[in-house]
Structure 1
Amino acid sequence: MSAEEHRQRAIEALGILDTPPDERVDRITRIAQQAFGVPMVSVTLIDRDRQWRKSQIGLGGNEAPREGAFCDVTVRQGDTLIVEDAALDSVFSTNPFVTGDPNLRFYAGHPIQAPSGEHVGTLCILDTTPRHLDDAQVALLRDLAEWVQAEIAQVDQIDQASLVQRALLPAEMPETPGYTLAAATVAAGQIGGDIYDWYRLGDRLRVTLADVMGKGIGPAIIASAVRASLRTAPDRPLAAAVSEVDRLLEDDIGGTGVFVTAFHADVELASGEISFVDAGHSLGFILRADDTWDYLRSTGLPLGMGFDDGRESALAVLHPGDALLCCSDGLLDVLDGDPFEHVRRVLRAEGPQGAVDEAARLARSHRGVDDLTVLVVQRDR
């Protein structure tokens, strides 16, 4: 495979071509314009036959031909390219971007690398009059380009982490005759620290909801590890499974100040009996058929705090018409007035799926407040 083919694969793997503007990258182009006092700035990515601008000021569009592009030369040479006066330059004096629109005279660009090392684009500054950059200005251009490179890599890492996290959510809804299930999770950002899980274990339904303190990649990784651990050896007693997660977290992240709250339960489908462990979560409830609420409590602090004195499970029963509801604390941030009355009203009017959809809608309208997850198990008969 040629170097150009490697480079093209690298830029396509980033998944950034033709994506909407990103404020983090736009901010850098604004800083570059202010720092250098130039009319045109671009974060340019070199595609097969075009140059595509992730961010630009003063160039009037997001695409231009690759042929003759100054940025293509910068990418190919893999180092800073400075053309002080293109009209006097033997290489660029007849360039269509010099002799025609936008009538360039000055160009300075530094290459941007993909995480795998290939040069895929540039941060460049341009002017219609000749210019000179001193050593400090060249260093600044390089630093700003490396900042863009870091932001693009972070976007790629977040996107990959988001794909992994979505893959760890339940692939399908378990078959539970006589019950209606619904659940949703909405991250405050691109990825979150909430997870839920549900699956059949013979005549039981296993349900889990966990909330890692914080938002972003770190909590998302921990949440995925919690889910994986609780899925291991599913025949263990609930309390033993939760205690094992506690020990693992204490070994791995003890002392970091990060902790996890969790609700882990089994529902006997024939009887409606619920066996559950609440590790500092305190957001598990039953809405009874007569519209009263039962609060599900069991002993235990959050996971990872290093104070596990032995987890114990507790019992409750879902009767026909009752609904088990578990949520993360993000739900409390988006509900107005009495949250229990709000939930009761929507659940009765819209059913489990409608109630979950409403919670997700509210979470998206309050984007950035906190991760939100809601899980409902309603016994119909």
Structure 2
Amino acid sequence: MVVEDAREDDRFAGLPIVVGGVRFYAGAPLQDAGGNLVGTLCLFDDQPGSLDAEQLQTLEDLAAWAQQELAATGEMTRAVEVQASMLPSAPLTSGEWAIDGVCLPALAVGGDLFDYGIVGDVVHFGLGDVMGKGTGAALLGAGVRSAIRSTHAAVVAGVDLGVTTTQVARGLAADLARAESFVALFEAAVDLDDGYLRYVDAGMGLCLVVRADGRIERLSADNLPIGVLPDDHWTEQQTTLELGDRLLLFSDGLLDLVDDPVSWWEPIGRLVSEHDDPSTLLDAIALLTVATVPTDDVTAVAVYRRAVS
């Protein structure tokens, strides 16, 4: 719609905006993906005017671009909601055990993922980091999450985590090869009665335990990420979480936020020691992303076996 002089047009002459000084108007409608009118891209002037054919085409082109951006924003908003809905919805507590996690994408969505749950007297938890950031990594991450969840029943039943991780890797091999990507993964199961912890570290290398006496231990292995070698295998490792021990598992985005990313276990170990609850620890990690703009996704899972008073 083009109105060359609103004061001379009976449809608009009495409108407050026209009385207040607007004379010229040109607008192109904006629609959502469902064809609903959601707004207009407008031009105003306090003098009468007109648009030639080229200017009208430019206005329509700009409106088409704005409409695409609105649709993309709506789709991205929905993607953020969907990805958040796939994460655990609340912290987990059972007796002296407390578990919580956080995922803070560098962009709207990201390739990091975490999960945890309890079946009987076993808690399973894990964290994955798909190479890259943004929508592409998020799409791969959704597939990785589904593949890992399909093995949880076997994991809590006691099946070797090296076997289940190899099963996951075989299922993801074709997709990762086509996407030219890989996944670093840490997957674990802990017996709530005695603290016996079984885990697989597939190229993650970013898990530490702060023992009750203050010692810091790193949990890692020599295994490669999933998708690097097509016929690779992974090996289960074991340790024990005693009363008062605290475990933190995280993605490499956190390394960008600490003072010493080389000897990272020292500042991050101190951070763990300073917080007596997983939720307050994760809040402190989230504050680090506010103080320093992250260039990568930051995801963490905290598992505490609290000492009984």
Q: What is the CA distance between 1:271 and its match in structure 2?
A: 2.2
User: What is the CA–CA distance in structure 2 between the aligned matches of 1:292 and 1:283, rounded to whole Å?
Assistant: 16
1:280 counterpart residue number: 203
Q: Of the two structures, which has the highest relative contact order with CA contacts closer than 8 Å and spacing of 6 or more?
A: 2
Deviations 1:238-274 (A, max 9, x none): 2333223323332224232322211001112222221
User: What is the CA–CA distance in structure 1 between the aligned matches of 2:17 and 2:269, rounded to whole Å?
Assistant: 65
Q: Is the 8 A contact 1:184 1:373 kept in 2?
A: yes
Q: What is the CA distance between 1:108 and its match in structure 2?
A: 1.0
RMSD of Structure 2 on Structure 1 (CA): 2.1
Q: 1:244–1:122: structure 2 CA closer, same or farther, 3 Å change rule?
A: farther
Matched, 1:380 2:306: yes
Of 326, 350, 353, the residue aligned with 2:275 is 350
Equivalences for 1:63-74 in 2 at 5 Å?
none
SS in 1 for 2:212: coil
Residue identity matched to 2:288: L
Matched, 1:134 2:60: no
**Any unmatched runs of 5+ in structure 2?**
none
Q: State the TM-score, normalized to the length of structure 2.
A: 0.88
User: What is the CA–CA distance in structure 1 between the aligned matches of 2:27 and 2:229, rounded to whole Å?
Assistant: 52
SS in 1 for 2:94: coil
SS in 2 for 1:359: helix
- Aligned-residue sequence identity (percent) comes to 36
1:214 counterpart residue number: 132
Q: What is the CA distance between 1:94 and its match in structure 2?
A: 4.5
Residue identity matched to 2:298: L
2:39 counterpart residue number: 121
Q: What is the CA distance between 1:358 and its match in structure 2?
A: 0.6
1:200 counterpart residue number: 118
User: What is the CA–CA distance in structure 1 between the aligned matches of 2:231 and 2:206, rounded to whole Å?
Assistant: 20
Q: Is the 8 A contact 2:93 2:99 kept in 1?
A: no
Matched, 1:300 2:223: yes
User: What is the CA–CA distance in structure 2 between the aligned matches of 1:166 and 1:255, rounded to whole Å?
Assistant: 26
SS in 1 for 2:152: coil
Residue identity matched to 1:243: T
Q: What is the CA distance between 1:302 and its match in structure 2?
A: 1.7
Matched, 1:85 2:5: yes
Residue identity matched to 1:83: V
Q: Is the 8 A contact 1:199 1:206 kept in 2?
A: yes
Q: What is the CA distance between 1:355 and its match in structure 2?
A: 2.0
Of 181, 186, 189, the residue aligned with 2:99 is 181
Of 109, 112, 134, the residue aligned with 2:27 is 109
Q: What is the CA distance between 1:186 and its match in structure 2?
A: 1.6
Of 223, 246, 249, the residue aligned with 1:326 is 249
Q: 1:300–1:276: structure 2 CA closer, same or farther, 3 Å change rule?
A: same
For this pair of structures, how many residues does the alignment match?
299
SS in 1 for 2:92: coil
Q: Is the 8 A contact 1:330 1:372 kept in 2?
A: yes
2:72 counterpart residue number: 154
Q: What is the CA distance between 1:128 and its match in structure 2?
A: 1.0
Q: State the TM-score, normalized to the length of structure 1.
A: 0.72
Once the two structures are overlaid, the 10-residue window that deviates more, 165-174 or 110-119, is 165-174
Q: Is the 8 A contact 1:301 1:308 kept in 2?
A: no
Q: What is the CA distance between 1:228 and its match in structure 2?
A: 2.0
1:41 counterpart residue number: none
Q: Is the 8 A contact 2:257 2:294 kept in 1?
A: no
User: What is the CA–CA distance in structure 1 between the aligned matches of 2:251 and 2:166, rounded to whole Å?
Assistant: 20
Once the two structures are overlaid, the 10-residue window that deviates more, 155-164 or 165-174, is 165-174
Q: 1:175–1:87: structure 2 CA closer, same or farther, 3 Å change rule?
A: closer
Deviations 1:69-92 (A, max 9, x none): xxxxxxxxxxxx112233344544
Q: What is the CA distance between 1:306 and its match in structure 2?
A: 4.4
1:313 counterpart residue number: 236
Residue identity matched to 2:39: G
SS in 2 for 1:254: helix
2:285 counterpart residue number: 359
Residue identity matched to 1:215: K
**Any unmatched runs of 5+ in structure 1?**
1-80
Q: Is the 8 A contact 1:328 1:374 kept in 2?
A: yes
Residue identity matched to 1:260: V
User: What is the CA–CA distance in structure 1 between the aligned matches of 2:91 and 2:281, rounded to whole Å?
Assistant: 17
Matched, 1:247 2:170: yes
Q: 1:308–1:174: structure 2 CA closer, same or farther, 3 Å change rule?
A: farther
Q: 1:240–1:135: structure 2 CA closer, same or farther, 3 Å change rule?
A: farther
Q: Is the 8 A contact 1:250 1:306 kept in 2?
A: no
SS in 1 for 2:179: coil
Q: Is the 8 A contact 1:346 1:354 kept in 2?
A: no
